[in-house]
Structure 1
Amino acid sequence: MDMDIVGRINAVHRELGTRNIPAGEGKVVVLRRSYDADIEDVWDACTDPERIARWFLPVTGDLKLGGTYQLKGNAGGEIVGCEPPRLLKVTWVYGENATEKDVGEVTVRLSPGEDGATVLELEHAAVVDPGFWGEFGPGAVGVGWDGALLGLDVYLGGGTLDGEAWPTSPEGREFATRSSEAWGVAHAASGAPADEVAAAVENTTKAYAPPPA
């Protein structure tokens, strides 16, 4: 697939923050970008299980307010906010042995953009082990969400990404590398020291785009 990787990376605004969540003081990563689709279509793509599986991951559960969800091979949790077509909020729990401290929150907000487009903002808040944050920074979760928003963009444009082949393809590795670097810029803008940012970018890049065997 021929893709303007730099353009796709630059289409996303990234920022960091902190806020209190039930699990404690959480690190917050925010991604914001515009999609060339109306708000109802983007909402449906983000909430219909058949469509979610086409650009993200298969999802099961009682998919309604107060219900639960489970993404195949990934996170699950409770659906704690649902205001069609504007807001979806879920708890985010990864791993079978998760404790209360491991319960994060993911919030998706949609709003009308220019010329019929839709602005999507995704916020992921979680309590992060200081050692892990020091090693990988925001890219540990940010690169994954960049990939998800890319998948949604390709899907809304009528295409698909091969979830198995894409990450290890030359384009997939370049995308992950540039995403890691972009999160380094956001990390630095939040006030992190330059040496910490550089180490986090290097470690995150190696994790998502290791050198080919």
Structure 2
Amino acid sequence: MIDIVNQINATHREIGDLPVATGEGRSLLLRRTYDAAIEDVWDACTDPDRISRWLAPVEGDLRLGGTYQLKGNAGGEILRCEKPTLLKVTWALGPGMDTELEVRLAPGDGGGTLLELEHSSPAAIVDELVRTYGPGGTIGVGGGWDLTVLALDLFLNGVDFDPETWENTPEAREFATQSCHAWGAVIQAAWNVSDEDIAAAIAFGVQHFAPAEDANG
């Protein structure tokens, strides 16, 4: 069993402004500490064999200036690689969908390793999407990163975890519910979203990550 409350509370979330190559950025920032040495966390985030065990199989020219592709997920270019503290890549789920992802590692104040994961997109595009269509997409992205940092924690602690198998369980639905509520609070404050709109966005996010069972099925 996963301690859902502890896992949700272990992560700090905020809306940031990390620039992207084209200019001003709007970012989702996650920060948490892992009970592992910085070299171990770095290796888990950069070694293709280990990445495949907690995130997804990855292939490509895995070096500075090279490219990568996660199976069924994003791909892009490796922009910076400064072992064991900084990894920066472009993060594209399709043509014309380039964003940037930065992972920063540092020794934790009380031991372990502090990880900051910051996913940044052009600010004007993000702000317009939130104003026009609501924050559902942003909550969905944040929820996806919550699942990523959870999977990394379990992997570093030697726990077998398959997100595809787990996603249809009651435990997964509870995690998705709490994750979307946590991001909803952050996003509502950042964009001054109404209670009605944030509630709808949270419900959309939960249904996306852990669809409710069909009562007639």
Correspondence for 1:197: 198
Which among 76, 100, 107 is matched to residue 105 of structure 1?
Answer: 100
CA contact (8 A) 1:81 1:88 kept: yes
Deviation at 1:163, TM superposition (A): 2.6
Q: Which moved more, 1:28-37 or 1:186-195?
A: 186-195
CA contact (8 A) 1:135 1:199 kept: no
Correspondence for 1:55: 54
Deviations 1:66-115 (A, max 9, x none): 000000011000000110000000001102xx12xx21000000000034
The whole-number CA distance in structure 2 between the counterparts of 1:19 and 1:158 is 33
Change (3 A) 1:134 1:23: farther
CA contact (8 A) 1:137 1:187 kept: no
Percent of pairs identical after alignment? 53
Correspondence for 1:118: 113
The whole-number CA distance in structure 2 between the counterparts of 1:48 and 1:154 is 17
Change (3 A) 1:174 1:84: same
DSSP-derived class of the 1:190 partner? helix
Q: Which moved more, 1:190-199 or 1:104-113?
A: 190-199
Instruction: Map 1:1-213 onto structure 2 (within 5 A).
Output: 2-23=1-22, 25-95=24-94, 98-99=95-96, 102-127=97-122, 128=126, 130=129, 134-193=134-193, 194-213=195-214
Aligned residues: 208
Deviation at 1:208, TM superposition (A): 1.2
Deviation at 1:192, TM superposition (A): 2.1
CA contact (8 A) 2:176 2:209 kept: yes
Deviation at 1:135, TM superposition (A): 4.7
The whole-number CA distance in structure 2 between the counterparts of 1:154 and 1:19 is 28
The whole-number CA distance in structure 1 between the counterparts of 2:139 and 2:44 is 25
Which amino acid is 1:153 matched to? D
The whole-number CA distance in structure 2 between the counterparts of 1:60 and 1:140 is 25
The whole-number CA distance in structure 2 between the counterparts of 1:186 and 1:115 is 26
TM-score normalized by structure 1? 0.91
Which amino acid is 2:115 matched to? L
Unmatched 5+ residue regions in structure 2? none
The whole-number CA distance in structure 2 between the counterparts of 1:204 and 1:180 is 6
CA contact (8 A) 2:86 2:102 kept: yes
- Cα root mean square deviation, aligned: 1.7
CA contact (8 A) 2:54 2:162 kept: no
Which amino acid is 2:49 matched to? E
Change (3 A) 1:60 1:172: same
The whole-number CA distance in structure 1 between the counterparts of 2:23 and 2:200 is 26
Which amino acid is 2:112 matched to? A
Deviation at 1:25, TM superposition (A): 4.2
The whole-number CA distance in structure 1 between the counterparts of 2:6 and 2:133 is 28
Which amino acid is 1:199 matched to? A
TM-score normalized by structure 2? 0.90
